[in-house]
Amino acid sequence: MPGAPGQARRRGQGWRALTPWLFLLVPLALLITFTYAPIADMVAYSFTDWDGVSPELHYTGGHNYAEIFTRQDLFEVFFVSGYYLAASAVQIVAALYFATILSFKVRFRNFFKGVLFFPSLINGVAIGFVFLYFFQDGGTLDTVLGLFGVHTGHAWLGTPVSANISLAGVSVWRYTGLNFVLFLGAIQSIPGELYEAAELDGASRWQQFRYIIAPGIKPVVTLTVILSVSGSLSVFEVPYIMTGGATGTETFVTQTVKLAFQYNKTGLASAAAVVLLLIVLAVTWVQRRLVPDDRADLV
Amino acid sequence: MSRRRALRALVYATLIAATLVVLLPLGVVLLTSLKSSKEMTDGSGALTPPDDPLDVHNYVEAFQDGRMLQAFGNTLFICAFAIAGTVLIGSMTAYAIDRFTFRLKKLVVALFLLAALVPGVTTQVATFQIVNSFGLFDTRWAPIVLYMGTDIVSIYIFLQFIRSIPVSLDEAARLDGANAFTIYWRIILPLLKPAIATVVIVKGIAVYNDFYIPFLYMPSQDLGVISTSLFRFRGPYGAHWEIISAGTILVILPTLIVFLALQRFIYNGFMRGATR
């Protein structure tokens, strides 16, 4: 039995070194195939004139990038994001307000909570149809406004400005509840004694908000702000379903999808996607700097 | 004290206003779905109740002509595999990262973390070519592998839970002769039940509602899921809002039922999932 125990141990060690990799084999394969390989390919395509189908592709240098930043019709989509950014601001303020009042004692609290949150669970296509109907001429919105004596002979989705405001409004309707629940969770994780103590000291509701709630939920709010920025840049579903990008409602992603899958401009679409990715990464990087998030450590 | 009462009234007024804003668009669609096409052409107002509120004729038509049964079937199929895959992959990754020390661990963790920052929509142009090269385009496996391969949130949720499981349990089992796979399968996975519930709910809702991936990867009529089948209502029923409304309600209804049944878990799940 020469060196039996030592060998067994070494073999055991070999296994032990291998074991984590056996667990990680499939996850890593999927991660690389469907996240990192596409990113690498995308960057490569972005320097070519590829149409996505033909075997022929030519290296065109920075031509696609130049086109994105110089062609007005391609660049304009960035301004559309502005509407969604404004909507995010409304959404966050509304969510903060409702989270604050519903964290205190309110009648039918669970009912209100459920109603506010439910829209964020609804299918995007369904939401698109609900609001397509809502904004129709003589549809829900016009009827309701009529009840208040306001008559607008107005096609809500007819002009670029009102169409974008309407679509951004849908975003507010859809996502306020999600932010609300996140804020509510953060508020409820603040220990209750703090309020009791404050109440004993005669602090008003506003003071309680200002000095207890606001600092307690700051990390979640900052995170939401950053997510809203990248969300505003990558809006797709609702404008695609409701207007198909007509009347100046084209967003960055609806445009990229069209370039790639309708006009077969894979090269140009890839360059657009790279630009979007860089913006989102920059925004996230800024967030990590501003809020060093100690909970997001994976190790 | 009256100032306080005025404030209370204001709080309730805003809550009721918000409730109306949320429920009105949905309520009108429900009303419309119960109207006959004759009522619609006669110009029934948006807020007018239907003549016969028990007429479900539109629902039958939407369900049959919209091929909703097939859509629900496809969605269920994709949901089942995507969720099972996400649970296994997420928990295995978390187990490997939390319970082992190995070379390149930092790199692996960084790869997963960095991937969380890449919004899926941006890379689809290139992902499409890869899916296509595997011959998965226009099959139900395309969305399944995509949903499984990119879910960093579930890995994070599992990681949080695994950390709270004492390592002494693993060690005790190892002394009894269990290997890593037995420990994972017999000890870790059963103890992860609450995390699994969270992941199942959040992932299930995300897959049920996703439009982008099935829309890009499964253009065939026969492979319609809930989202894409509903989207196809736009063409044939363009002007028939009563049918579109019925289809819309058919899609929302299961979400509502699940929400009412699992409310508490859904709130928790979303809080855990979204704050990461």
| Cβ–Cβ under 8 Å, residues A197 and A190 | no
CB contacts < 8 A, A to B, total 255
Backbone angles phi, psi at A54, to 5 degrees: -65, 150
Inter-chain contact B233–A129, Cβ cutoff 8 Å?
Answer: yes
- Predicted complex ipTM: 0.91
Contact B275 A182 (CB under 8 A): yes
| Residue B102, pLDDT above cutoff 70 | yes
What's this model's pTM, rounded to 2 decimal places? Answer: 0.88
Q: Return phi, psi of residue A287, to 5°.
A: -60, -45
- Out of A140, A185, A261, name the one closest to residue B24 (CB): A140
As a whole number, the mean pLDDT across chain A is: 85
Give A-chain residues touching B119 at CB under 8 angstroms: 230, 234, 276-277, 280
Q: What DSSP state is assigned to residue A210?
A: I
Considering the segment(s) A72-290 as one domain, its CATH architecture is Orthogonal Bundle (1.10)
Buried b (16+ CB within 10 A) or exposed e, A243-268: bebebebbbbbbbbbbbbbeeebbbb
Cβ contacts of residue A161 below 8 Å, gap of 6+? none
Q: Which among A119, A142, A144 has the least Cβ separation from residue B22?
A: A119
- What are the start-end ranges of the H helices in A148-247? 160-188, 192-200, 205-208, 214-233, 237-242
Interval B32-86: pLDDT, tens:
899 888 888 777 777 777 887 778 888 988 898 888 899 999 999 999 999 999 9
Number of residues in chain B: 276
Of B150 and B129, more confident = B129
CB atoms within 10 A of CB A110: 11
Query: Which phi and psi (to 5°) does residue A114 adopt?
Result: -65, -45
In this structure, the number of other CB atoms found within 10 A of the CB of residue A55 comes to 5
> Phi and psi (nearest 5°) for A59?
-75, 125
Q: What are phi and psi of A94, to 5 degrees?
A: -60, -45
Q: Whole-angstrom Cα distance, residue A111 to residue A102? A: 11
CB contact under 8 A, B227 and A123: yes
For A88-99, the pLDDT digits (tens) are: 999 999 999 999
Interface test with A, best of B122, B225, B248, B256 (most A CBs within 10 A): B122
Per-residue pLDDT at A282: 87
For residue B113, pLDDT beyond 60: yes
Could you give the CA distance from residue B40 to residue A89 in angstroms, rounded to a whole number? 38
Look at residue A35 and give its three-state secondary structure: helix
Token pair for B33 = 């779905």
Per-residue confidence (pLDDT) for residue A297, from 0 to 100: 46
Tell me which residue of A125, A82, A69 sits closest to A228, measured CA to CA. A82
A172-195 pLDDT tens trace:
999 999 999 999 988 888 888 888
What pLDDT score was predicted for residue B275?
A: 57
Paired residues of A48 in beta bridges: A59
Name chain B contacts of A185, Cβ cutoff 8 Å.
267, 271, 275
Q: What pLDDT score was predicted for residue B276?
A: 47
Interface contact flag, A31 B111, Cβ < 8 Å: yes
Q: Two tokens at A209?
A: 């908000």
CB count within 10 Å of CB A164 equals 24
Question: Between the CA of residue A271 and those of A41, A193, A251, B125, what are the distances in Å?
Answer: 11, 54, 15, 10
Buried b (16+ CB within 10 A) or exposed e, B2-34: eeeeeeeeebeeebeebeebbebbbebbbbbbb
Higher-pLDDT residue of B235 and A256 is A256
pLDDT beyond 60 at A299: no
- CB B21 to CB A173 under 8 A? yes
CB nearest B22 (choices: A116, A205, A241): A116
As given in the structure block, the two tokens for residue A298 are 């994976």
Nearest to A123 among B115, B156, B252 (CB): B252
Asked whether residue A24 carries a pLDDT value surpassing 50, the answer given is yes
**Start-end ranges of CATH 1.10.3720.10 in chain A?**
72-290
Question: Which of A115, A123, A185 faces B22 most closely, judged by CB atoms?
Answer: A115
Beta-bridge mates of residue A151: none
Q: Which residue of B has its CA nearest to A19?
A: B180
